[in-house]
A and B are shown apart, each in its own frame.
Chain A
Amino acid sequence: MIKNILNLGDAALYCDFGSDVNQEINSNVIKYFYHIKKLNLKGITNLTPSYNKLIISYDLNIHSFLSLKKKIENIEIKENNKLEKNLIEIPVCCDNNFALDIKRVENKLKLKSEIILEKFFSKNYFCYMTGFVAGMPFLGDLEKDMRLKRLETPRVKVPKGSVGITEQFCNIYTFETPGGWNILGNTPQNIFDTSNQSNPNLVNPGDTIKFYRITLDQYNEIKR
């Protein structure tokens, strides 16, 4: 399933699963990720799964590129290995104060805001990966008529909890950070919990997300 293994610098393997972004390729990445994680190999310092790549960082005192590459190439994963999937429901409030880019999205997609939100909430989304900042899930796929580019000029600060879309993906800003996604709403739910060290992420790669719409009153109730 790994097409090719290159080096990324002198202390990481760059495992290439293909160039397309789809759930089949991504599920293979995630299977490898969980499998290697479970092996608990000495000297592996990080595993970073993404849409179609898996980066394996290692301690140069323990591994060299060639020796670790061989080890990874020899790993056999059964194609029919089932991925463990959780369905997670996440409340989102689309009050005007939170839907920062709804006007822009209306203009770009040439759809009314109610239609946009109806389409957005009618679908389940697959978690391809988490990261960039702690716990941020990259979810997909949006319907073709819901896809647009990111903001021309990214925001310096996107509020924590913002739910945004770009191209075929949506995400949740787990921290206040700079960002350029089109923001449709905000969730009062904590997506990343620093105090839960064994499982800080609410959403993990392979999970399915169902967003449901709440009112501002419900939002404030949950926040309280």
Chain B
Amino acid sequence: MKSKDRNYFKILRAGINTTYQDLGRNNLYHIGIPFSGAMDKRNFQLLNSLLQNDYNSPVIEFAYQGPHLKYFGKDIFFCISGNASFKIITKEDVIDGNSYQCYLLKNGDEVDIHSTNKSVYGYFSINGTFGVDYYWGSCSINTQAQIGPNNGNKFSKDLEIEIIDINNSFNKRKLDYLGNTIENIRVIKGTNYDYFSESSQNKFFKESFKITKLSDRMGMRLEGPKIENIVDPNIKSEGLVKGVIQITSAGDPIIMLSDHGTIGGYPKIATVISADYDRVVQLTPGSNIKFKDVSLEDAETLYKLYQMETNNIISQIK
């Protein structure tokens, strides 16, 4: 391909943890490979809907601070989902952008994503397709196992992001969406719930926990009242799933997130329900989290409501 025909972004600043993500990869837990995929599935879905891309198109996920990108190529639209502050820098002007709105980029324009606000993850994509390689059916980058495009590494300065296809029948659309307000995170009691003293079980649901800085795509460590184990601080190692809350030997909860180790040996006190997963991943270090106990039947109903709500938001894209 001649360089003048190329459409690509050059990374001027990579951001903190910038990777390609899609819906992730299934049926590989048994060999030690987790789902991965976009942490916040709703924002992933909204972005591809706004851009009229295929529902599982690759997007660029960033955490806390996003990338600063310079665009080279023919006219293109981009959009950002999540609660992010960003600027569009053109030859004539510098504009403050809004999430969930599509913007035109011309050759030489820049997008500078300063930060996510009161949240962790944001998403960037274009009305087209990034040139990515697929590993087990997914382009999601798992930096821990070094799986995915870019040799399984997060983005770095000077990397060039190729665009292999631009959708020319694209209609510029937008969405007024404020995101979720966060109250309690709902959980189902875990398979080792009875490993913990009654007073600790009560504390787990009555008191709040603080999210520590030891949080990433693999897991989220919490601190707060110590949870007292009265049976055994370890179990025979067994499978984990996204959202499982284990209690470490020190008595602190740790929530397993999308890139988690597939097997673990700490007792499981609870699991975050599927309907609340997108919300829990967006909680920032330093903020508080409080758990609420729900039944399995309620969790299944809440998931249906979550899906209906997502579809409802998508139907409001104009």
Contacts and interface: CB of A to CB of B under 8 A. Distances in A.
B307 A194 contact: no
B135 interface: yes
A134 interface: yes
Interface stretch (B112-120, B203-211, B262-270): B262-270
B32 A136 contact: yes
B145 A131 contact: no
A47 interface: yes
Contact of A8 (B136, B147, B262, B268): B268
A51 B236 contact: yes
Contacts of B144: 133, 175, 177
Contacts of A132: 32, 237, 261-264
B35 interface: yes
A134 B268 contact: no
A10 B273 CA distance: 6
Nearest to A138: B237
Considering residues A9, A45, A175, A194, which has the most beta carbons from chain B within 10 angstroms of its beta carbon? A9
A47 B35 CA distance: 12
Contact of A33 (B26, B30, B145, B152): B30
Interface string A173-208: 011010000000000000010100100110011000
Contacts, number: 138
A197 to B, nearest CB: 6
Given A8-B271, A51-B238, A132-B261, A200 B191 contact: no
Contacts of B220: none
Contacts of B299: 9-10
B303 interface: yes
A197 B274 contact: no
A7 interface: yes
B300 A60 contact: yes
B236 A52 contact: yes
Nearest to A20: B236
B244 A8 contact: yes
A14 B146 CA distance: 29
Contact of B241 (A8, A194, A205): A8
B103 interface: no
Contact of A50 (B26, B191, B238, B272): B238
Interface string B4-40: 0000000000000000000000111111110100000
Interface in A30-78: 33, 37, 44-55, 57, 60-61, 64-65
A10 B32 CA distance: 21
Nearest to A201: B31
A130 B30 CA distance: 6
A6 interface: yes
Interface in A123-141: 129-136, 138
Contacts of B152: 194
A131 B274 contact: no
B66 interface: no
Interface in A102-148: 129-136, 138
Contact of B239 (A45, A55, A61, A204): A55
Interface residues on B, range: 35 or more
A131 B243 contact: no
B230 interface: no
Interface of A: 6-12, 14, 19, 21, 33, 37, 44-55, 57, 60-61, 64-65, 129-136, 138, 174-175, 177, 192, 194, 197, 200-201, 204-205
Contacts of A51: 236-238
A57 B236 contact: no
B188 A7 contact: yes
A138 B274 CA distance: 30
Considering residues A57, A131, A133, A201, which has the most beta carbons from chain B within 10 angstroms of its beta carbon? A131
Given A10-B271, A194-B147, A53 B239 contact: yes
A9 B263 contact: no
B188 A48 contact: no
A65 B271 CA distance: 15
B190 interface: yes
B296 interface: yes
A200 B244 CA distance: 27
Nearest to B27: A46
Nearest to B26: A45
B35 A46 contact: yes
Contact of A135 (B32, B241, B243, B274): B32
Contact of B263 (A44, A131, A201): A131
A134 B303 contact: no
B300 A50 contact: no
A205 B32 CA distance: 12
A50 B31 contact: no
A197 B292 CA distance: 41
B244 A9 contact: yes
Contacts of B263: 48, 50, 129, 131-132, 138
Contact of A57 (B29, B146, B300): B29
